[in-house]
Structure 1
Amino acid sequence: MDHSMHGTTMDMGDMPMRCKMSMVWNTEPHGICLVFPFLQIQRSTSSLIFWLSFLALLSVFFEWSRLYAGSLDRQLRSTLRGAGGNLAAAGAAVGTSTPRSGQARRPSSALGDASEEALLGGRSRQAWGSVRLPVSIQTRRSLLYTLNLAISFYLMLIIMTYNAQCIGAVLFGAFVGHFIFQRNFDLAAGGGEDDGKGLSCH
């Protein structure tokens, strides 16, 4: 009897691997899919090094994006506070000036309305110590926020693989990124809204 498989050999290393899932701590990274099936750690050492480096660099990038978003908010806050201070000084000068004969003094509320219009090119609105930002600036802030949130969620899903190598790569990247990009320490109380927030659930 002639069998079609006779005389042929099958190399199991050439067969595609199925995504491996584990709900307990494990130290075997080969076969793990990094959330998506096409992002799979293959059996080769080069594949392992590549994907672990990818996770570490992604953690570093996350720390940089946090720093960039925070610095953008601090710069914007400083600009708005400076504009508010200049407008307050101008209002005091106008309020103390003596009106001409027959000319009524301008109410302070009118100056307040003008101050609101002057902030950010007249496109903002002050209310209860806050400023309504223009759509262009708020869109940029929201995009950065969404990017940071997406990266944070993705890295949390990587942590949920329970794999020692993958978790170690994420934590190593977080350490390097925090060491490089969070070295400047703000002495002001409440210097940033995201201080202390790292790779954690939102």
Structure 2
Amino acid sequence: MDHSHHDHGMHMSDPPEARCRMSMLWNTRIIDTCVVFKSWHIRSNAGFVVSCIAIVLLGLFFEWLRSYAKRVDQKILAKEGKGRVRLGSSRDGSRERGEDAPKFSTISRASRVYRSLLYAVIVFISFFLMLVFMTYNAYLILATVAGAGIGHYLFSEFGMGGDDKGMACH
């Protein structure tokens, strides 16, 4: 049977379809890099630059949000804690000294919900940036690290307390 008269949508003059390329190895690919989502498909050098800037800004936002969460904790402690918030752990030696173990917080439910939402957003952004890092693209990794470093420089404060895990995933 002759099928030459059927149009199957393939023409020899059509350029090959741009596709996301994934690599589990260190790479410096720019065009056809996809970042986390298939819809975040980089098709040009300009798009790659914009993507790198967006990743740097996300890193900055992540560091700002971490410092904001620490300030929220300090405000809650000042307003609602009044010595009732457990700051230490049972390993702080209080039991060995014959003292009662510290009590847990009696902060309001609204404050606890707000703190939990902040924490959830921080964890989400942290994992998102980890996925960007896992593109193994040297430029995107550099953008992630640059955003974290600049953000830490701009927003971290000494003596704020709390853990300082950096951009750990969790």
Instruction: Sort the TM-score into its range (normalised by shorter chain).
Output: 0.7 to 0.9
Secondary structure in structure 1 of the residue aligned to 2:105: strand
Q: Distance in 2 between matches of 1:66 and 1:38?
A: 28
Secondary structure in structure 2 of the residue aligned to 1:130: coil
Pair 1:193 & 2:166 matched: no
Q: Distance in 2 between matches of 1:84 and 1:200?
A: 30
Q: Which residue of 1 aligns with 2:122?
A: 148
Greater than 3 Å deviation, 4+ residue runs: 2-5
Q: Contact 1:74–1:192 (CA<8 Å) still a contact in 2?
A: no
Q: Which residue of 2 aligns with 1:67?
A: 67
Based on CA coordinates, which of the two structures has the bigger radius of gyration?
Answer: 1
The structure with the greater share of residues assigned to helix is: 1
Deviation at 1:84, TM superposition (A): 4.6
Q: Which residue of 1 aligns with 2:110?
A: 136
Deviations along 1:72-130, whole A, 9 cap, x unmatched?
1012122345x459xxxxxxxxxxxxxxxxxxxxxxxxxxxxxxxxxxxxxxxxx8333
Deviation at 1:8, TM superposition (A): 7.3
Counterparts in 2 of 1:4-43, with a 5 A limit? 9-12=13-16, 15=17, 17-42=18-43
Q: Distance in 2 between matches of 1:29 and 1:19?
A: 11
Deviation at 1:21, TM superposition (A): 1.0
Percent of residue pairs identical: 39
Q: Distance in 1 between matches of 2:137 and 2:12?
A: 36
Q: Distance in 1 between matches of 2:61 and 2:28?
A: 25
Q: Distance in 1 between matches of 2:58 and 2:169?
A: 17
Q: Which residue of 2 aligns with 1:100?
A: none
Unpaired runs of 5+ in structure 1? 86-126
Unpaired runs of 5+ in structure 2? 85-100
Q: TM-score, normalised by structure 1?
A: 0.66
Q: TM-score, normalised by structure 2?
A: 0.77
Aligned residues: CA RMSD: 2.5
The size of the alignment, in residue pairs, is 148
